Amino acid sequence: MGSFEFTPDGDHLVYVEGGNLRKMNLRANNRPVATTPFTAEWVRDVVGERQAAFSQFWREYNRSFYDPFFHRRDWYAIRKRYEPLLDSVGHPNEFATVLNQMVGELEASHAEVSSAPSGPPSFSVAHLGFEIDWRHTGKGLKVGRVIDGSPGSFARTKINPGEFVMEIDGVAVEANEALWTDVLQGKAGRDITLTVNSTESLEGARKVTYRAMNAGQFRGLLYEHQVNERRRMVDELSNGQLAYVHISGMGGAQLARFNLEVWEYLQGKKGVIVDVRWNGGGNISDDLIDLIERKPNYYTVQRDRPAFTSPDYSWDKPTAVLAAETSFSNAEMFPYSMSARKLATFVGQRTPGYVIWTWGLGLVDGTGARMPSAGVYRMDGRPLENDGIEPDIEVAWSNEQYMAGEDPQLKRAVQEVLKKIR
């Protein structure tokens, strides 16, 4: 149901549902609904809308961009160079590209433009719940890694790394585009039947049926696997003395998860590693700092009970923060604040310097944009935008180390915290 309102006498409810105008009689039995048929024409001046949206975008940036000097660019001259390109724009995607290129001249973060809705609807594509071994070029799909918690990890639907999936729902498959466009399209959330064998053959194969995942669900499993693996590494490297917590984003859900996890994992530990790598940002850095910098004033002991500190949930433990080039925006402000306030040692790599407060900007033609409206500065006046945070201890991480499952940044962070507790 879209918009609705009551008639002046209160006897009827008029509303829009599915593009149809409906009228519900509130006084009659069973509240019958009548539909009012109508037709209407809507003529759009697409070219005029696009010109108006271009002007709106330029005008909003001209009066609201956080830096009045526009990063030493001439915003008026930039408009003159890009406005003639509108004559050749024929699709919302092309218009968004023009605006992205124009605002890109400012070299500012948080200034992305997304196109207005257009084109046919997209279709969901199922994820098989395991990684494909792309080195295999023959028939079927060779199973790579099977993540714990995925459908193929359970006893009744077990699929082992190295096995081959020869068919899906009776259709022969290979690792090519047809797998996604013809076989898995529209299958997310539905039961699928896989023909699985230890060799590239149907002879002797078994059938495995389970509900297909979507890509987002599989990414979630990969994330949990990564966090658990890092936690195991910290436990092993520190001989059980340190806790590990990862913050995947700087939003309310991540703050709630942090509060649930960190106080649990800190129990009985002498120090902690807080990891904000692979974090796109948000706005909870100050909330985290408020929690972490709390110090216990005293502790209380009840008879036959363990002692607890006051205020509740006090931190007061040696800490290292991991951040790198995959930490963005508020996930850069957090390690900077932790290091500047001497609450933690920042280990990793220099952050990218994508730090601006922003808000959404909707244009008249449906194009979406972002407005970098407030700069963030160190206390000495230096901006965080385009000037990433230098770590206290810089540790490189090579592709070879990553592919081998090594994490030298995490290892060094553990070493630094252990120094403080010995």
Asked if residues 298 and 309 have their Cβ atoms less than 8 Å apart, the reply is yes
Strands 393-394 and 345-348: parallel
- Cα separation, 84 vs 78, in Å, equals 11
Name the nearest CA neighbour of 143 among 168, 124, 121, 119: 168
One CATH from 3.40.50, 1.10.3470, 3.30.420, 3.30.750 for 46-114: 3.30.750
pLDDT score for 158? 96
Domain residues of the chain, as ranges? 4-36, 46-114, 126-214, 238-353+388-421
The CATH code belonging to domain 126-214 is 2.30.42.10
| Distance of alpha carbon 175 from the chain centroid | 27
Report how far residue 262's alpha carbon sits from residue 245's, in angstroms, rounded to the nearest whole number: 6
| Contact by Cβ (8 Å): 366, 92 | yes
Domains 46-114 and 238-353+388-421 belong to one CATH topology: no
SS3 at position 261: helix
Q: What is the pLDDT of residues 147-199, one digit of tens each?
A: 999 999 999 999 999 999 999 999 999 999 999 999 999 999 999 999 999 99
Could you report the per-residue pLDDT of 379-393, keeping only the tens digit for each? Answer: 999 999 999 999 999
Please give the model's pTM, rounded to 2 decimal places. 0.84
In eight-state DSSP terms, residue 10 is S
Cα–Cα distance, 146 to 129 (Å, whole number): 7
What is the fold of 238-353+388-421?
2-enoyl-CoA Hydratase; Chain A, domain 1 (3.90.226)
Bridge partners, 15 (sequence order): 4, 22
Tens-binned pLDDT, residue by residue, of the chain (422 aa): 678 899 999 999 999 887 788 999 999 999 999 998 888 888 889 999 999 999 999 999 999 999 999 999 999 999 999 999 999 999 999 999 999 999 999 999 999 999 998 877 777 899 999 999 999 999 999 999 999 999 999 999 999 999 999 999 999 999 999 999 999 999 999 999 999 999 999 999 999 999 999 999 999 999 999 999 999 999 999 999 999 999 999 999 999 999 999 999 998 999 999 999 999 999 999 999 999 998 888 888 999 988 877 887 788 899 999 999 999 999 999 999 999 999 999 999 999 999 999 999 999 999 999 999 999 999 999 999 999 999 999 999 999 999 999 999 999 999 999 999 96
Confidence (pLDDT) at 1: 66
**What per-residue string of b and e applies to 266-288 under the rule 16 or more CB within 10 Å gives b?**
beebbbbbbbbbbbebbebbeeb
